[in-house]
Every structure is written in structure tokens, then in C-alpha cells.
């Protein structure tokens, strides 16, 4: 986290109930302030999650004030209580709700006569577009709530769209101005607090404050200003994080953390004390931390981690003359593992045939096939491949629009090839406490079911609620009907090249294809999620011990899975994962092919039976090869072996032959098409939708 502090005071005077006070500010990055708001930065009606209330917009062509808004908790501005505010479409919030004149969209240095007294400024935003909106939402629990006033998709200088927020915080009375998301260009804002026409506290770059955050709609690249009422203390250190992993190898383990210097003077020494329950370890560490800088320290004394042991460690970090001793402590737990298992990363992608940008995600997943330990799953929405339970739940862990990808439900982002690779590489080296092994997925023709079983070995006793989860995925999936065709915004190349890598899907390039694209052109959809065990993204309840999973091997057999969930078992796999049911994190996983009677086409006497389309909705084309002229009978049987359709075909010639089956009268489900020739039967599975 980057921090700096600038305290500006211009003039001293009184205005109404607000006496002149003193503000100073710090800057931070890498998350929203306090981490309370994890909603993705999307506009109202364009992906914004629930709970937000629109107060202005869209398309505010003329600068406008909102109606008065009530602050939902006690809050002080400049040392005095305030209860209401209003906000302009140009990025100004004022507690002087009687103000009439609206600041224009062109900012000036603060203080400015254009700004009402008692105002907070991200001045220079312009909510004039069709996606532009100002909305509010309250986060947190009583005593520590935040009121967010969010400017979405606004123009800002030459930046085409820009997302900023003004935040009021209960308890601390801190004010945050958050730079959340921007496209390319140069911003031009005045950022700060104006008490009156002669007194303001602002970023000295105003009115040309540029955007710092990137285009990610999550908070990973957010940048924010924290305005604090009072005088900055000379000596003040805050423990930002205790950087101990949840799982560690045996032996010497570093005790590390990150601190911020919130004081006006540099910090030259840290007192670091930690205790694992066996006694305190205290070290003085010489440092040089400039005012409002950050520093990551490592205690000279290591934790002697013993295999299989769990540890709860208290950490305290102070500096000489520390003004606030309430922000110096942290406690975390870790488990020393008996060995470190191999980590397999699961990549999940949200997609749909209706989504014109989604070829990007398909190419991104395909690119990951070069990474041997990567397991890809494409979760479809609004098309014939949708698994509703999976689709309805994945947005919790991969928020935002389509396409969108994530790994292990701990990181998400743009599913472009480079981004997927970066997310994988950041995750694959993480230490996890368990593996998935001895995985089997066996299809039995007599039952029509796939039985999946797996083991997971745990290399330490780990507290929490964990579950086995199984997903069946399939490659080369095709079907008939317009809703199977992939909408393609890359057509004609106007949005750049979007091609599968060499050796995958014929290296098909969406930028040279039409719009939409028949999936037969690129070989069908890959990594398609076809089944989710228990219809629960968090896995099978009770499949692992509740509360804590003991050291050792644990096994689970999933409920039988109907083979009808796939078109082709030979192109399908079972993915088994261990999931933290509290957080959704995928700890580890493994993938295996489906074995057993998966090749239901018999080639006796050189017969080759093919069906197209499959799945089908009406007419099914049956093609087959005969070595010699013969009589043939085609039958269709259901999953229980009952004959539901029969057709006799006489005196066929040797070579390739074709028969049509009208499937319109058949209920949805899976069937078997059987070709009988001279006592020999060839069988192929048919899915009717």
C-alpha cells in the first residue's frame, strides 16, 4: 500500500455552525477503505449488484443537485454533526443543502467560489452519458458503517469513463475519496474538502488530479484519499497486515508483517513482539520509514513449526512515542503440514452463446491447456448448455458481467489468455493442506449412470467446513438451433484478433469469421460444465468431517450421475474439488476421464454408426457403413431398454448409408439408436431436447 500525507490549511475563519478545523489526508491503494465494499464497479442497469439506490441519472446533461439525502448514522464534518447532504452530477457533495448554484463540470483549484461551503469534492466528473449514474449504498454494521456515494461511468477529462466514490465513515468521521475504475485517457479533477471560500484541504495537483486506478471493476487496483479531522501525530505506526500463511512447511517459519507510518515524523525503529502460546519473543528492528510510507518487516526470531501442529500467534508492533496503541495488534493461525501437496488450479469462466465478447473467454481457457496442471470449466448462461444451479451461484465468486473468469474462487478478472495465465501463476504456488487423488469416474451401461469417487489426503488437522464437489465437463459440444450459435463481436477484425492457439479448435480465428458462428466451425464448445453435484456450488454437505478435517485420508462417493448429462462420454471428464464451504475457495482439485462402457458404438463387421445432430430436437440423421449389401433394422430404445421406435430398411448396398429418424414425438431425455444387421448390433447414444 502506498501512503502519503499532505496537510493544507488556507485561512482561518468561522462559517455558520462549522468552525475552522484541521484536516490532513493519507492515500492508500489495493482495496477499498476498510474493505467493506467489495461490490464490483458497474453502472446501474449495467451489472451493478443489488442494494444501491440511484439519486441522479442517467444522462444528466445539465449539472444538477440531487434531492437531500439522510446520513444513516451519526457523523461529524469539521468537528460538528451533520445529518443530510446533497450531491451534484459533477462530483461535489455538500452538507450546505440550501446551496442553489451547481458547480459546473470544469474544476478549479480549491478553495473555489464555485463550491458551496462544507463540501467534499471529486469535482470535474460529468454524469451526462446513458450509463452515467450517481447512487448510494450503506455498508458495514452499526458503529462502523460506511455511506458510499458512487459516481459510475462518468466522463473525466479525456477519460471516456471513470468511477469514483465519496465515502462517509461512522465512528471515525473519516472521509474517503475513492478512485475505483477508469478507461484510458488523462483525468482532470479537484480532489479535497472545502470548508469555505478561503479554507480547503486538497491534493495539490487539483484541478488536474489524474486517475490512478485501472480498468478492473474489482478493488484490487483502487486508490483512495483518507481525510482525517485533527492534527497529524508526530509518531504513529499502524500494523496493516500479519503476513503469515494459513499453511506452512515444517521447520523455521518467518514472522512477517506490513506497517504504515501514519505520523508526521520518520520511523527509525520498530518493536516487534509475537507469542505462539509458549512465551513472548521481542525484537527491535532498525528501519527507515518516511512519513506515511509502508514497510514489510521480518522478525529475526522464527517460529519453529512442528509437523501436524496448529498455531495461534499474537503479533504486536509499535514505535517510540506511538500515538495510538489500538492499531498495533493482530492474531492469526497457521498449520504446519507434514508435507506440501501438488497444487492444481481450477479456472472457471462465465460465458454464453448470446455474449459477443465471450469468444475471448473460450480462447483464454484454451490457451491454458498448455499449462498441464490447469483445470478449466466453462459455466454457461442463457443458452442450451446452462446448468442452472452452477450459473445462479457463480456470480458470488466471479462478479460482474460476461465474459469473466476466475481461479479457485479467490481471484477473478478479464478471462483473456494473458490474464488467465497471470491468475494461474499467482495461485499455483500457494500452499494448500490437502490433495485430491485416487479419482475414478466409471460409466455402467446397464444403469446408464456414472459413479465418481475420490480421496483427499490432509497433511494437517484443519479447522473449518470443507466439502467434496464434482463437476462433469465436456469438450466439442455442438447442437442445432440458433441459440447454439456463438454471437461474435470480433467478426471482421474491428476488435482485434481472437484466435485459438495452434493445435486447438483448428486454430480458429473469430476475427475472420462471421457473426454469429456455428460451433461446428471451431469444433464445438470446450470445458462445458454439464453437471454439478448436489446442485450446490459449495459441494456435497457432509462429505468431509464438519468443524475440522483431521490429518489423514478421507474418501467420498458421489450420488450416481446420469450419463445423459453429456453428449459424448469419451469427450467428458469428472472434476473433483475440495471446497471451503464458508468462503467458496477451491483448495485443490483433480480431473479424470470417464471409463467403463463409454464407447457405446460397436464396430463389428466394419459397421460405423454416426448420429447428427446430437442432441436433437426433430430430425436425426443416422449414417453407417456396411461392408456388403444387407438388410437392416434401426430401433430406438429408452434408458430402460424399451423400444420406442423401429424402422426396417431392406436391401441396402455396401458402403455408406443414411436413415432419418423423426424425434419430435420423443420426450426429452437420452435414448439408444441401434442398428441391427445380420445378427450384429451397433449402438449409439442419442440425446433428445
Chain segment 57-81, per-residue pLDDT in tens: 899 989 999 999 999 999 999 999 9
Would you say residue 647 has pLDDT above 60?
yes
Contact 78, 84 (CB under 8 A): no
Other residues' Cβ atoms within 10 Å of the Cβ of residue 169: 21
Residues near 228 by beta carbon (within 8 Å), at least 6 away in sequence: 23, 24, 25, 26, 172, 174
Cell of 368: 491454458
User: How much of the chain exceeds pLDDT 70, in percent?
Assistant: 94
Residues near 93 by beta carbon (within 8 Å), at least 6 away in sequence: 85, 86, 87, 119, 120, 121, 149, 166
Distance CA 327, CA 488 (A): 52
Distance CA 686, CA 567 (A): 8
**What 3-state DSSP class applies to 498?**
coil
More confident residue, 213 or 651: 213
Would you say residue 316 has pLDDT above 50?
yes
More confident residue, 593 or 371: 593
More confident residue, 172 or 675: 172
Query: DSSP character for 129?
Result: S
Distance CA 36, CA 319 (A): 28
pLDDT in tens, 253-278: 999 999 999 999 999 999 999 999 99
pLDDT grade for 608, boundaries at 50, 70 and 90? low
Q: Which residue, among 250, 335, 218, 599, has the nearest Cα to 445 in the 3D structure?
A: 599
pLDDT in tens, 5-21: 333 333 323 233 333 45
Contact 436, 455 (CB under 8 A): yes
Contact 259, 237 (CB under 8 A): yes
- H or E segment to which residue 186 belongs: none
Residues near 138 by beta carbon (within 8 Å), at least 6 away in sequence: 72, 145, 146, 147, 148
More confident residue, 255 or 217: 255
Would you say residue 346 has pLDDT above 70?
yes
Cell of 633: 433394422
DSSP E strands in 639-668: the ranges are 643-652, 655-662
Query: DSSP character for 420?
Result: H
**What 3-state DSSP class applies to 487?**
coil
Q: What is the DSSP string of 362-396?
A: HHHHHHGGGSTTEEEEEEE-SSTT--HHHHHHHTT
More confident residue, 606 or 47: 47
More confident residue, 352 or 646: 352
Q: In what order do the strands lie in the sheet with 280-289?
A: 247-248, 329-336, 310-318, 267-275, 280-289
pLDDT of residue 628: 74
Q: Residue range 297-309: average pLDDT?
A: 93
Whole-angstrom distance between the N-terminal and C-terminal Cα of the chain? 54
pLDDT in tens, 466-524: 999 999 999 999 888 899 999 999 999 989 999 999 888 889 999 999 999 999 899 89
pLDDT grade for 600, boundaries at 50, 70 and 90? very low
Alpha-carbon 139 to chain mean position: 20
Distance CA 488, CA 353 (A): 9
Q: Which residue has the cell 469539521?
A: 78
pLDDT of residue 595: 87
- Is the full-model pTM beyond 0.75? no
pLDDT grade for 633, boundaries at 50, 70 and 90? confident
More confident residue, 125 or 678: 125
Residues near 569 by beta carbon (within 8 Å), at least 6 away in sequence: 443, 450, 563, 594, 598, 600, 685
* Helical pair 359-367 and 417-428, crossing angle rounded to 10 deg: 40
Amino acid at each position: 500500500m502506498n501512503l502519503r500525507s499532505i496537510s493544507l490549511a488556507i485561512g482561518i475563519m468561522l462559517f455558520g455552525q462549522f468552525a475552522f478545523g484541521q484536516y490532513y489526508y493519507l492515500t492508500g491503494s489495493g482495496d477499498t477503505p476498510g474493505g467493506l465494499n467489495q461490490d464490483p464497479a458497474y453502472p446501474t442497469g449495467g451489472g451493478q449488484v443489488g442494494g444501491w439506490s440511484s439519486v441522479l441519472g442517467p444522462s444528466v446533461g445539465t449539472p444538477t443537485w440531487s434531492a437531500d439525502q439522510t446520513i444513516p448514522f451519526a457523523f461529524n464534518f469539521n468537528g460538528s454533526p451533520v445529518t443530510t447532504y446533497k450531491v451534484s452530477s459533477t462530483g461535489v457533495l455538500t452538507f450546505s443543502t440550501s446551496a442553489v448554484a451547481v458547480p459546473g463540470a470544469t474544476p478549479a483549484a480549491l478553495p473555489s467560489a464555485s463550491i458551496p461551503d462544507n463540501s467534499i469534492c471529486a469535482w470535474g466528473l460529468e454524469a451526462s452519458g446513458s450509463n452515467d449514474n450517481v447512487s448510494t449504498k450503506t455498508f458495514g454494521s452499526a458503529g462502523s458503517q460506511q455511506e458510499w456515494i458512487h459516481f459510475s461511468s462518468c466522463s473525466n477529462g479525456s477519460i471516456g469513463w471513470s468511477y469514483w466514490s465519496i465515502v462517509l465513515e461512522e465512528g471515525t468521521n473519516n472521509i474517503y475519496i475513492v478512485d475505483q475504475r477508469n478507461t484510458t485517457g488523462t483525468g482532470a479533477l479537484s480532489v479535497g474538502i472545502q470548508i469555505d471560500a478561503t479554507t480547503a484541504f486538497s491534493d495539490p495537483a487539483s484541478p488536474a488530479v489524474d486517475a490512478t486506478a485501472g480498468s478492473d471493476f474489482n478493488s484490487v487496483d483502487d486508490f483512495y484519499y483518507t481525510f482525517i479531522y485533527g492534527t497529524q501525530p508526530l509518531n504513529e505506526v499502524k500494523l496493516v497486515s500479519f503476513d503469515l500463511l494459513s499453511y506452512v512447511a515444517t521447520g523455521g517459519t518467518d514472522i512477517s508483517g506490513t506497517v504504515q507510518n501514519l505520523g508526521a515524523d520518520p520511523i527509525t525503529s520498530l518493536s516487534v513482539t509475537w507469542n505462539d502460546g509458549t512465551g513472548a519473543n521481542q525484537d527491535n528492528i532498525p528501519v527507515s520509514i518516511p512519513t506515511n510510507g509502508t514497510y514489510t518487516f521480518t522478525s529475526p526470531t522464527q517460529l519453529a513449526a512442528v509437523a501436524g501442529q496448529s498455531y495461534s500467534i499474537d503479533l504486536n508492533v509499535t514505535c517510540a512515542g506511538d500515538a495510538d496503541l489500538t492499531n498495533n495488534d493482530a492474531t492469526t493461525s497457521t498449520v504446519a503440514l507434514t508435507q506440501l501437496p501438488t497444487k492444481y488450479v481450477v479456472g472457471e469462466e462465465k460465458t454464453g452463446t448470446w455474449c459477443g465478447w465471450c469468444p475471448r473467454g473460450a480462447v483464454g481457457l484454451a490457451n491454458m491447456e498448455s499449462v498441464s496442471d490447469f483445470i478449466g470449466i466453462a459455466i454457461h448462461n442463457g443458452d442450451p448448455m446452462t446448468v442452472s444451479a452452477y450459473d445462479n451461484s457463480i456470480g458470488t465468486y466471479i462478479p460482474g458481467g460476461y465474459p469473466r473468469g476466475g481461479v479457485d474462487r479467490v481471484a477473478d478478472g478479464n478471462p483473456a489468455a494473458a490474464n488467465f495465465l497471470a491468475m494461474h501463476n499467482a495461485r499455483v504456488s500457494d500452499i494448500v493442506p490437502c490433495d485430491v487423488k485416487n479419482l475414478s469416474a466409471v460409466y455402467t451401461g446397464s444403469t446408464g449412470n456414472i459413479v465418481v469417487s475420490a480421496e483427499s489426503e490432509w497433511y494437517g488437522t484443519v479447522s473449518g467446513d470443507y466439502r467434496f464437489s464434482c463437476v462433469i465437463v465436456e469438450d466439442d459440444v455442438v447442437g442445432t438451433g440458433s441459440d447454439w450459435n456463438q454471437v461474435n463481436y470480433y467478426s471482421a477484425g474491428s476488435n482485434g484478433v481472437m484466435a485459438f492457439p495452434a493445435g486447438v479448435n483448428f486454430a480458429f480465428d473469430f476475427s475472420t469469421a462471421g457473426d454469429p458462428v456455428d460451433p461446428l466451425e471451431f469444433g464445438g464448445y470446450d470445458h462445458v460444465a454439464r453437471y454439478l453435484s448436489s446442485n450446490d456450488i459449495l459441494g456435497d454437505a457432509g462429505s468431509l468431517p464438519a468443524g475440522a478435517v483431521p490429518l489423514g485420508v478421507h474418501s467420498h462417493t458421489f450420488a450416481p450421475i446420469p450419463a445423459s448429462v453429456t453428449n459424448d462420454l469419451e469427450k467428458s471428464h469428472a472434476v473433483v474439488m475440495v471446497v471451503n464451504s464458508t468462503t467458496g475457495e477451491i483448495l485443490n482439485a483433480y480431473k479424470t476421464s470417464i471409463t467403463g462402457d463409454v464407447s457405446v458404438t460397436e464396430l463389428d463387421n466394419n459397421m460405423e454408426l454416426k448420429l447428427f445432430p446430437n442432441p436433437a430436437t426433430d430430425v436425426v440423421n443416422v449414417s453407417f457403413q456396411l461392408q456388403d449389401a444387407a438388410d437392416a433394422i434401426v430401433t430406438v430404445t429408452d434408458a430402460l431398454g424399451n423400444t420406442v421406435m423401429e424402422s426396417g430398411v431392406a436391401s441396402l448396398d455396401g458402403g455408406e448409408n443414411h436413415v432419418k429418424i423423426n424425434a419430435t414425438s420423443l420426450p426429452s431425455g437420452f435414448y439408444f439408436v441401434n442398428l441391427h444387421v445380420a445378427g450384429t448390433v451397433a449402438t449409439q447414444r442419442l440425446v433428445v431436447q
